Amino acid sequence: MISEKRAELEAKAQAHIVRFKDVEPDWTNFSKVKMPNNDRAVYQYLGPDGHGKLPPWALPAERFGLSLICMPPGQGAPAHTHETEEVFMVMEGKLSFWWEEGGEEAHIELGPKDMFFSPARTLRRFTNTTTEPVWLLTVLGGQDARPIYPNEQ
């Protein structure tokens, strides 16, 4: 027999879960930026996405957002920055990642379970250069961490 307090606690814990089956991919999130090879699906789990939207299934958060991104082969993100920190972790696949600073560019290959931390206001871009989809976990700081593209600065 479960105590009333335990039942209440379990119900409270259930309200803090987002299940993959309930998350709808958003393929339009980056379509505002009509740049070549910019197609990827965002599965938003926690906090608003990078464009400030909070889907109905996502849990609210004030200090960061967490999403899962699926990138088909040849797709990725154009050079951009955020006013906040961002973390990338490749869950499946391989990702080509470029980080720019002071006019110099570093190219890094990331594989499964590799993580990259991008400080605020650093220019970065990434591309799936393989023939398989890449699944990327991202954590982006702030309530509204909209991307800033070099031609907008």
In the chain the domains, ranked by start, together with CATH numbers, are 4-152 (2.60.120.10)
Q: Identify the helix (H) or strand (E) that includes residue 4.
A: helix 4-14
Which two structure tokens, joined as six digits, stand for 17? 């879960």
Tell me the pLDDT tens digit for each residue of 92-108. Answer: 999 999 999 888 999 99
Residues 26-45: tens digit of each pLDDT: 988 776 566 677 788 999 99
How far apart are alpha carbons 16 and 147 in whole angstroms? Answer: 27
Question: What pTM was estimated for this model as a whole?
Answer: 0.85
Task: With CA atoms as reference, report the closest residue to 125 among 93, 84, 82.
Answer: 82
Dist CA 104 CA 45 (whole Å): 34
Beta strands in the chain (DSSP E): 41-46, 64-71, 76-80, 86-92, 95-101, 104-110, 115-118, 123-127, 134-141
CA distance 50 to 139: 10
